[in-house]
Amino acid sequence: MFKNNRSLKFSKRVGERYGWFKAFDDVVPFIFSYLDNNEWKIIEEWYKETDEKSLIGEASVPFMSILQGLVMGNSIQRVVQLGHYAGYSTLLLGFMLRKMKKKHSLVTIDIDAFISDFTSSWVKKAGLTDYIKVINSDSTDLESMKVAVKYLQDEPQMVIIDSSHQYQHTKNELNLWYKTLRMGGFLVLHDTSEFSSQYDMTNKGGVYKAFVDWCIEEKIKSSINIFPFGNSAEENTYLDVNGIGIIQKRNF
């Protein structure tokens, strides 16, 4: 374990985004500790600016830690992300891919133009423009999918879904991106918990129901949905109440 105290101070900060860090008051999560000093400086500045601008909506330490294990543990070099918001997961994934020297390795798509400009500006600030392409569009747009595959120069090995939280839209994303995924690759979804169904503005059961129904409809044999036993972090071993779902593309 690297000896640095980077995010330890976060455990004392108030506010929803810092809640995760109560569990990390004496250890720096690996998603931060392995960064070099310049990368960590970027993350610290990103927290400062997004705190000031109230751009809060990033994924959790447990979710990012699983992504890090999958990406860095398998030398993955072609990733698509659906939903980047203010750029947190984009920067952390970009740093992972740069450590592995994988250029043109992440395409990230978001429907919000303001937020896409914001994320692009941070990608530039972090020196990650050789590694990441930011696209402003709906995540089910066929043209964007083609642009993504062209940029990555082959089928994605991993598609991360963290976007609308809506039942039908999530199923549309699963339909489109599963087809595009390399055989053996992963679809990784945030917000697959029952608790997170509440984020679905259409009230149709959100990512949770989309994940369950789609896996049954498509006869998916290789999937896992980890979501909490209760509704609070204290009750759980996996600390993110929003859960994580992973589907592996297989032909048997």
Ligand X SMILES: C[S@@+](CC[C@H](N)C(=O)[O-])C[C@H]1O[C@@H](n2cnc3c(N)ncnc32)[C@H](O)[C@@H]1O
* Residues that bind ligand X in the complex, under the rule CB under 6 A: 57-59, 82-85, 88-89, 109-112, 115, 138-139, 162-164, 169
Q: Which of 206, 207, 212, 244 is nearest to 226 (CA)?
A: 244
d(CA 35, CA 46): 14
Query: How near is the Cβ of 111 to ligand X at its closest, in Å?
Result: 4
Q: Is 78 left (phi over 0), alpha (psi -120 to 50) or beta?
A: beta
Given the complex with ligand X, which of 169 and 219 has the nearer CB atom?
169
Residue found under tokens 């392409």: 133
Query: How near is the Cβ of 144 to ligand X at its closest, in Å?
Result: 9
Given the complex with ligand X, which of 34 and 88 has the nearer CB atom?
88
Q: Contact at 8 Å (CB) between 1 and 31?
A: no
Given the complex with ligand X, which of 139 and 223 has the nearer CB atom?
139
Given the complex with ligand X, which of 117 and 222 has the nearer CB atom?
117
Residue nearest ligand X by beta-carbon distance: 83
Q: Which two tokens stand for residue 171?
A: 């199923």
Query: How near is the Cβ of 3 to ligand X at its closest, in Å?
Result: 27
Residue found under tokens 């659906």: 82
Query: How near is the Cβ of 139 to ligand X at its closest, in Å?
Result: 4
Query: How near is the Cβ of 169 to ligand X at its closest, in Å?
Result: 6
Q: Contact at 8 Å (CB) between 39 and 131?
A: no
Q: Which of 94, 88, 142, 150 is nearest to 115 (CA)?
A: 88
Sign of the dihedral through C-alpha 83, 89, 91, 96: negative
Q: Which two tokens stand for residue 244?
A: 């994580």
Given the complex with ligand X, which of 48 and 250 has the nearer CB atom?
48
Given the complex with ligand X, which of 83 and 156 has the nearer CB atom?
83
Query: How near is the Cβ of 59 to ligand X at its closest, in Å?
Result: 3
- The CB-side HSE value for 214 (13 A sphere, CA atoms) comes to 29
